[in-house]
Protein backbone atom coordinates (compact mmCIF):
# COMPACT_ATOMS: atom_id res chain seq x y z
CA UNK A 1 0.00 0.00 0.00
CA UNK A 2 2.92 2.28 0.70
CA UNK A 3 3.99 2.36 -2.96
CA UNK A 4 0.41 2.73 -4.20
CA UNK A 5 -0.23 5.45 -1.60
CA UNK A 6 2.78 7.44 -2.75
CA UNK A 7 1.68 7.04 -6.36
CA UNK A 8 -1.80 8.28 -5.48
CA UNK A 9 -0.39 11.31 -3.68
CA UNK A 10 1.81 12.12 -6.67
CA UNK A 11 -1.15 11.87 -9.04
CA UNK A 12 -3.20 14.15 -6.79
CA UNK A 13 -0.39 16.75 -6.72
CA UNK A 14 -0.17 16.66 -10.52
CA UNK A 15 -3.92 17.13 -10.70
CA UNK A 16 -3.78 20.12 -8.39
CA UNK A 17 -1.05 21.69 -10.49
CA UNK A 18 -3.09 21.15 -13.64
CA UNK A 19 -6.11 22.81 -12.04
CA UNK A 20 -4.00 25.80 -11.02
CA UNK A 21 -2.60 26.03 -14.54
CA UNK A 22 -6.07 25.92 -16.05
CA UNK A 23 -7.22 28.65 -13.67
CA UNK A 24 -4.30 30.84 -14.77
CA UNK A 25 -5.16 30.28 -18.42
CA UNK A 26 -8.81 31.07 -17.72
CA UNK A 27 -7.91 34.32 -15.93
CA UNK A 28 -5.69 35.36 -18.82
CA UNK A 29 -8.45 34.53 -21.29
CA UNK A 30 -11.04 36.53 -19.35
CA UNK A 31 -8.65 39.51 -19.14
CA UNK A 32 -8.07 39.38 -22.88
CA UNK A 33 -11.81 39.21 -23.53
CA UNK A 34 -12.40 42.19 -21.26
CA UNK A 35 -9.71 44.21 -23.03
CA UNK A 36 -11.14 43.42 -26.44
CA UNK A 37 -14.64 44.28 -25.27
CA UNK A 38 -13.41 47.63 -24.00
CA UNK A 39 -11.74 48.40 -27.33
CA UNK A 40 -14.82 47.37 -29.29
CA UNK A 41 -17.23 49.35 -27.12
CA UNK A 42 -15.04 52.42 -27.40
CA UNK A 43 -15.25 52.24 -31.20
CA UNK A 44 -18.93 51.45 -31.47
CA UNK A 45 -18.29 47.77 -32.22
CA UNK A 46 -16.07 48.51 -35.20
CA UNK A 47 -12.65 47.06 -35.85
CA UNK A 48 -10.17 48.55 -33.36
CA UNK A 49 -7.87 51.18 -34.79
CA UNK A 50 -4.32 50.23 -35.68
CA UNK A 51 -1.85 51.17 -32.95
CA UNK A 52 -0.37 54.62 -33.45
CA UNK A 53 3.33 54.36 -34.23
CA UNK A 54 3.79 58.05 -34.91
CA UNK A 55 6.45 60.19 -33.29
CA UNK A 56 3.79 61.76 -31.05
CA UNK A 57 2.77 58.36 -29.74
CA UNK A 58 6.38 57.42 -29.08
CA UNK A 59 6.88 60.73 -27.32
CA UNK A 60 3.96 60.05 -24.99
CA UNK A 61 5.47 56.69 -24.12
CA UNK A 62 8.75 58.39 -23.21
CA UNK A 63 6.89 60.90 -21.07
CA UNK A 64 5.04 58.09 -19.30
CA UNK A 65 8.27 56.31 -18.51
CA UNK A 66 9.72 59.59 -17.21
CA UNK A 67 6.67 60.04 -14.98
CA UNK A 68 7.06 56.48 -13.69
CA UNK A 69 10.72 57.19 -13.00
CA UNK A 70 9.82 60.30 -11.04
CA UNK A 71 7.25 58.41 -8.97
CA UNK A 72 9.72 55.66 -8.15
CA UNK A 73 12.46 58.06 -7.16
CA UNK A 74 10.08 60.34 -5.32
CA UNK A 75 9.16 57.33 -3.16
CA UNK A 76 12.86 56.84 -2.45
CA UNK A 77 13.36 60.49 -1.57
CA UNK A 78 15.38 61.13 -4.69
CA UNK A 79 13.24 64.14 -5.62
CA UNK A 80 11.48 66.81 -3.66
CA UNK A 81 7.72 66.56 -3.96
CA UNK A 82 7.59 70.10 -5.32
CA UNK A 83 8.28 70.69 -9.01
CA UNK A 84 11.66 72.02 -9.91
CA UNK A 85 11.67 75.76 -9.40
CA UNK A 86 13.49 76.56 -12.60
CA UNK A 87 11.72 74.31 -15.06
CA UNK A 88 9.75 75.28 -18.15
CA UNK A 89 8.84 71.72 -19.11
CA UNK A 90 9.25 68.86 -16.67
CA UNK A 91 8.90 66.07 -19.20
CA UNK A 92 10.76 67.16 -22.29
CA UNK A 93 14.37 67.92 -22.98
CA UNK A 94 13.56 71.43 -24.15
CA UNK A 95 14.14 74.42 -21.92
CA UNK A 96 11.76 76.61 -23.85
CA UNK A 97 12.33 80.31 -23.19
CA UNK A 98 15.30 80.05 -20.84
CA UNK A 99 17.57 81.77 -23.34
CA UNK A 100 15.94 84.48 -25.40
CA UNK A 101 15.66 88.20 -26.04
CA UNK A 102 19.11 88.45 -27.56
CA UNK A 103 21.01 87.09 -24.58
CA UNK A 104 24.64 86.52 -25.48
CA UNK A 105 26.62 83.53 -24.19
CA UNK A 106 29.18 84.45 -21.54
CA UNK A 107 32.56 82.77 -21.95
CA UNK A 108 35.24 82.15 -19.34
CA UNK A 109 37.19 85.14 -20.67
CA UNK A 110 34.46 87.44 -19.35
CA UNK A 111 34.97 86.17 -15.79
CA UNK A 112 37.70 86.34 -13.21
CA UNK A 113 39.32 83.11 -12.09
CA UNK A 114 37.70 81.76 -8.96
CA UNK A 115 34.85 79.69 -7.56
CA UNK A 116 31.26 80.95 -7.56
CA UNK A 117 27.83 79.65 -6.72
CA UNK A 118 25.76 79.62 -9.90
CA UNK A 119 22.17 78.86 -10.68
CA UNK A 120 21.46 76.14 -13.22
CA UNK A 121 18.17 75.97 -15.11
CA UNK A 122 17.22 72.42 -16.06
CA UNK A 123 14.72 71.37 -18.70
CA UNK A 124 13.28 68.69 -16.42
CA UNK A 125 11.93 68.71 -12.89
CA UNK A 126 13.16 65.13 -12.71
CA UNK A 127 16.74 66.39 -13.01
CA UNK A 128 16.80 68.75 -10.08
CA UNK A 129 20.02 70.57 -9.21
CA UNK A 130 20.02 71.86 -5.64
CA UNK A 131 23.49 73.43 -5.61
CA UNK A 132 26.15 74.23 -8.16
CA UNK A 133 29.70 75.51 -7.78
CA UNK A 134 31.26 77.09 -10.87
CA UNK A 135 35.04 77.13 -11.22
CA UNK A 136 36.74 79.51 -13.65
CA UNK A 137 40.41 78.85 -14.29
CA UNK A 138 42.82 79.55 -17.13
CA UNK A 139 40.11 80.42 -19.65
CA UNK A 140 37.93 77.38 -18.98
CA UNK A 141 34.89 76.64 -16.82
CA UNK A 142 33.64 73.59 -14.99
CA UNK A 143 30.87 73.06 -12.48
CA UNK A 144 30.06 70.60 -9.72
CA UNK A 145 26.31 70.02 -9.66
CA UNK A 146 24.67 68.54 -6.57
CA UNK A 147 21.51 66.62 -7.40
CA UNK A 148 18.40 66.36 -5.26
CA UNK A 149 18.73 62.59 -5.10
CA UNK A 150 20.46 59.50 -6.39
CA UNK A 151 18.38 58.62 -9.42
CA UNK A 152 21.10 59.09 -12.05
CA UNK A 153 24.38 57.18 -12.31
CA UNK A 154 26.22 59.02 -15.08
CA UNK A 155 25.98 61.94 -17.48
CA UNK A 156 26.99 62.56 -21.06
CA UNK A 157 27.46 66.05 -22.45
CA UNK A 158 25.30 65.54 -25.51
CA UNK A 159 22.02 63.92 -26.47
CA UNK A 160 20.83 60.53 -25.34
CA UNK A 161 21.16 59.21 -28.89
CA UNK A 162 24.80 60.30 -28.91
CA UNK A 163 25.35 58.76 -25.48
CA UNK A 164 24.18 55.38 -26.73
CA UNK A 165 26.96 55.44 -29.32
CA UNK A 166 29.65 56.77 -26.96
CA UNK A 167 32.21 54.80 -24.98
CA UNK A 168 32.30 54.48 -21.21
CA UNK A 169 35.31 56.82 -21.13
CA UNK A 170 33.08 59.64 -22.41
CA UNK A 171 30.67 59.39 -19.48
CA UNK A 172 30.77 61.44 -16.27
CA UNK A 173 30.18 59.19 -13.24
CA UNK A 174 28.58 60.44 -10.05
CA UNK A 175 30.54 61.18 -6.90
CA UNK A 176 28.68 60.78 -3.63
CA UNK A 177 29.04 63.70 -1.24
CA UNK A 178 28.97 63.66 2.56
CA UNK A 179 25.18 63.90 2.54
CA UNK A 180 24.79 60.86 0.30
CA UNK A 181 23.73 62.96 -2.71
CA UNK A 182 25.07 62.43 -6.20
CA UNK A 183 27.31 65.13 -7.64
CA UNK A 184 28.61 65.50 -11.19
CA UNK A 185 31.54 67.60 -12.37
CA UNK A 186 30.77 68.85 -15.88
CA UNK A 187 32.50 71.13 -18.35
CA UNK A 188 30.72 74.43 -19.00
CA UNK A 189 31.12 75.77 -22.51
CA UNK A 190 29.47 79.11 -21.73
CA UNK A 191 26.95 80.72 -19.43
CA UNK A 192 23.53 81.83 -20.73
CA UNK A 193 23.70 79.13 -23.38
CA UNK A 194 21.65 75.95 -23.75
CA UNK A 195 23.89 72.93 -23.22
CA UNK A 196 22.77 69.42 -24.12
CA UNK A 197 23.20 66.83 -21.40
CA UNK A 198 21.82 63.30 -21.07
CA UNK A 199 21.38 61.45 -17.80
CA UNK A 200 21.39 57.68 -17.29
CA UNK A 201 18.60 56.50 -15.01
CA UNK A 202 19.53 53.98 -12.35
CA UNK A 203 16.01 52.50 -12.29
CA UNK A 204 15.20 52.51 -15.98
CA UNK A 205 18.74 51.98 -17.30
CA UNK A 206 17.86 54.51 -20.00
CA UNK A 207 19.35 57.80 -21.19
CA UNK A 208 17.14 60.88 -20.82
CA UNK A 209 17.76 64.13 -22.68
CA UNK A 210 18.23 67.25 -20.60
CA UNK A 211 19.12 70.86 -21.42
CA UNK A 212 21.07 72.98 -18.94
CA UNK A 213 21.63 76.74 -18.75
CA UNK A 214 24.16 78.16 -16.31
CA UNK A 215 22.88 81.65 -15.49
CA UNK A 216 25.38 84.51 -15.49
CA UNK A 217 22.92 86.74 -13.66
CA UNK A 218 23.29 84.60 -10.54
CA UNK A 219 27.00 85.46 -10.23
CA UNK A 220 28.19 88.32 -8.03
CA UNK A 221 29.29 91.45 -9.85
CA UNK A 222 32.87 90.93 -8.72
CA UNK A 223 33.00 87.65 -10.68
CA UNK A 224 33.08 89.55 -13.97
CA UNK A 225 36.20 90.91 -15.56
CA UNK A 226 36.50 94.66 -15.76
CA UNK A 227 33.99 96.12 -18.19
CA UNK A 228 32.05 92.84 -18.59
CA UNK A 229 29.19 93.58 -16.18
CA UNK A 230 27.00 96.64 -15.98
CA UNK A 231 26.76 97.72 -12.35
CA UNK A 232 25.92 100.96 -10.62
CA UNK A 233 29.65 101.61 -10.28
CA UNK A 234 30.58 100.71 -13.85
CA UNK A 235 27.71 102.85 -15.11
CA UNK A 236 29.00 105.66 -12.87
CA UNK A 237 25.58 106.29 -11.38
CA UNK A 238 25.66 109.01 -8.76
CA UNK A 239 23.76 108.61 -5.52
CA UNK A 240 20.14 109.53 -6.07
CA UNK A 241 16.77 108.40 -7.40
CA UNK A 242 16.15 106.99 -10.86
CA UNK A 243 13.75 104.85 -12.84
CA UNK A 244 14.62 101.74 -14.87
CA UNK A 245 12.70 99.37 -17.10
CA UNK A 246 12.46 95.87 -15.68
CA UNK A 247 11.38 92.60 -17.32
CA UNK A 248 10.03 89.59 -15.41
CA UNK A 249 10.36 86.00 -16.59
CA UNK A 250 9.60 82.61 -15.08
CA UNK A 251 6.83 81.10 -13.02
CA UNK A 252 3.59 80.34 -14.82
CA UNK A 253 4.02 83.34 -17.12
CA UNK A 254 0.96 85.07 -15.66
CA UNK A 255 2.73 87.15 -13.00
CA UNK A 256 3.77 90.71 -13.73
CA UNK A 257 5.67 93.60 -12.17
CA UNK A 258 5.36 97.32 -12.67
CA UNK A 259 7.77 98.93 -15.11
CA UNK A 260 9.60 101.24 -14.99
CA UNK A 261 10.63 100.58 -11.41
CA UNK A 262 11.96 103.08 -8.93
CA UNK A 263 15.74 102.79 -8.62
CA UNK A 264 17.82 104.09 -5.71
CA UNK A 265 21.61 104.40 -5.78
CA UNK A 266 23.54 104.78 -2.55
CA UNK A 267 27.30 104.45 -2.03
CA UNK A 268 27.67 102.86 -5.46
CA UNK A 269 25.00 100.21 -4.80
CA UNK A 270 21.65 100.03 -6.60
CA UNK A 271 18.28 99.06 -5.17
CA UNK A 272 14.98 98.71 -7.05
CA UNK A 273 11.39 98.70 -5.86
CA UNK A 274 9.59 95.69 -7.32
CA UNK A 275 5.82 96.06 -7.28
CA UNK A 276 3.90 92.97 -8.32
CA UNK A 277 0.62 92.90 -10.20
CA UNK A 278 -1.17 91.50 -7.14
CA UNK A 279 -1.04 91.46 -3.35
CA UNK A 280 -0.36 87.72 -3.22
CA UNK A 281 3.36 87.83 -2.35
CA UNK A 282 4.52 88.04 1.26
CA UNK A 283 8.31 87.97 0.83
CA UNK A 284 11.10 87.75 -1.73
CA UNK A 285 14.60 86.27 -1.65
CA UNK A 286 17.68 87.57 -3.41
CA UNK A 287 20.99 85.74 -2.97
CA UNK A 288 19.37 83.74 -0.18
CA UNK A 289 18.44 86.85 1.81
CA UNK A 290 14.77 87.21 2.71
CA UNK A 291 13.23 90.61 1.95
CA UNK A 292 9.90 91.57 3.51
CA UNK A 293 7.16 93.86 2.23
CA UNK A 294 7.91 97.59 2.33
CA UNK A 295 4.19 98.43 2.52
CA UNK A 296 1.09 96.63 3.73
CA UNK A 297 -1.50 98.21 1.46
CA UNK A 298 -2.11 97.60 -2.25
CA UNK A 299 -0.02 95.28 -4.38
CA UNK A 300 3.02 93.55 -2.94
CA UNK A 301 6.14 95.75 -3.06
CA UNK A 302 9.73 95.00 -2.11
CA UNK A 303 13.03 96.84 -2.34
CA UNK A 304 15.72 94.51 -3.65
CA UNK A 305 19.42 94.93 -4.45
CA UNK A 306 20.28 95.16 -8.15
CA UNK A 307 23.55 93.31 -8.47
CA UNK A 308 23.85 93.58 -12.24
CA UNK A 309 22.05 95.26 -15.13
CA UNK A 310 21.26 93.78 -18.56
CA UNK A 311 21.52 90.17 -17.33
CA UNK A 312 18.96 87.81 -15.86
CA UNK A 313 19.00 88.13 -12.10
CA UNK A 314 17.40 85.18 -10.24
CA UNK A 315 14.92 85.98 -7.46
CA UNK A 316 12.39 84.02 -5.44
CA UNK A 317 8.92 85.24 -4.52
CA UNK A 318 6.64 83.49 -2.05
CA UNK A 319 3.03 83.42 -3.22
CA UNK A 320 0.11 82.98 -0.86
CA UNK A 321 -2.43 82.70 -3.69
CA UNK A 322 -2.43 78.90 -3.46
CA UNK A 323 -3.84 76.71 -0.71
CA UNK A 324 -0.37 76.73 0.84
CA UNK A 325 2.44 79.31 0.47
CA UNK A 326 4.79 78.39 -2.35
CA UNK A 327 8.16 79.83 -3.35
CA UNK A 328 8.43 80.50 -7.07
CA UNK A 329 11.62 81.26 -8.98
CA UNK A 330 11.69 84.19 -11.40
CA UNK A 331 14.33 86.24 -13.17
CA UNK A 332 14.44 90.01 -13.46
CA UNK A 333 16.32 91.94 -16.13
CA UNK A 334 17.04 95.63 -15.49
CA UNK A 335 17.76 97.50 -18.73
CA UNK A 336 20.60 99.93 -18.16
CA UNK A 337 19.79 101.87 -21.35
CA UNK A 338 16.48 103.00 -19.82
CA UNK A 339 17.86 104.47 -16.59
CA UNK A 340 16.59 108.01 -16.07
CA UNK A 341 16.72 110.49 -13.25
CA UNK A 342 13.48 110.42 -11.25
CA UNK A 343 11.30 113.47 -11.73
Domain of 167 in residue numbering reads as: 82-218
The string of DSSP letters for 300-341 reads -EEEEEE--BSS-EEEEEEE-SSSS-EEEEEEEEEEEEEEEE
pLDDT tens for the chain, residues 1 to 343: 444 444 444 444 444 444 444 444 444 444 444 443 444 333 333 333 333 434 333 333 333 344 444 444 444 334 333 333 333 333 344 444 445 455 689 999 999 999 999 999 898 888 999 999 999 999 999 999 999 989 999 999 999 999 999 999 999 999 999 999 999 999 999 999 999 999 999 999 999 999 999 999 889 888 999 888 899 999 999 999 999 999 998 887 889 999 999 999 999 999 999 999 999 999 999 988 999 999 888 999 999 999 889 988 889 999 998 889 999 989 999 999 999 999 8
pLDDT in tens, 48-100: 333 343 433 333 333 334 444 444 444 433 433 333 333 333 334 444 444 54
* Residue 118 domain flag: yes
Q: Which residues, 6 or more positions from 82, have their beta carbon under 8 angstroms from its beta carbon? A: 326
Residue 81 burial (CB count, 10 A)? 6
* Same domain flag for 214 and 183: yes
* Same domain flag for 200 and 281: no
Task: Report how far residue 281's alpha carbon sits from residue 315's, in angstroms, rounded to the nearest whole number.
Answer: 13
What single-letter DSSP state applies at residue 220? Answer: -
User: Of the residues 183, 218, 253, which one is the last residue of a structural domain?
Assistant: 218
Domain with residue 308: its CATH number is 2.60.40.1850
* Residue 44 domain flag: no
Q: Which of 257, 210, 266 is nearest to 233 (CA)?
A: 266
* Same domain flag for 149 and 200: yes
* Residue 160 domain flag: yes
* Residue 67 domain flag: no
* Residue 54 domain flag: no
Say what the pLDDT of residue 301 is: 97
Residue 133 three-state SS? strand
Decide if 238 contacts 329 (C-beta within 8 A): no
Decide if 151 contacts 180 (C-beta within 8 A): no
* Residue 281 domain flag: yes
* Same domain flag for 255 and 307: yes
Say what the pLDDT of residue 252 is: 78
* Same domain flag for 179 and 242: no
* Residue 34 domain flag: no
* Same domain flag for 115 and 243: no
Assign 3-class secondary structure to 219-265. Answer: CCHHHECCCCCECCCCCCCCCEEEEEEEEEEECCCCCCECCCEEEEE
* Residue 311 domain flag: yes
User: Of the residues 218, 252, 285, which one is the last residue of a structural domain?
Assistant: 218
Residue 192 three-state SS? coil
Domain count, the chain: 2
Decide if 260 contacts 249 (C-beta within 8 A): no
* Same domain flag for 207 and 239: no
Say what the pLDDT of residue 68 is: 47
Residue 50, Ramachandran bin (φ over 0: left; ψ between -120 and 50: alpha; else beta): beta
Task: Report how far residue 130's alpha carbon sits from residue 284's, in angstroms, rounded to the nearest whole number.
Answer: 19
* Same domain flag for 96 and 213: yes
User: Of the residues 218, 240, 268, which one is the last residue of a structural domain?
Assistant: 218
Amino acid sequence: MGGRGNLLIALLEVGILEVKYMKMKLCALLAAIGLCAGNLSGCGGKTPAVADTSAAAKSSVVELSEAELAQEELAEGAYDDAPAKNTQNQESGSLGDAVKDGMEPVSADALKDGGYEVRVDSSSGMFRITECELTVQDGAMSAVMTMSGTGYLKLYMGTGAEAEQASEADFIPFVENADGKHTFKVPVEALDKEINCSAFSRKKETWYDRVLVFCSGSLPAEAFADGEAATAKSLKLEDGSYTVAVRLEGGSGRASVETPAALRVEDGNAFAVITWGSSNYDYMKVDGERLDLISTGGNSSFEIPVRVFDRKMPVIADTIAMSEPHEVEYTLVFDSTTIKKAE
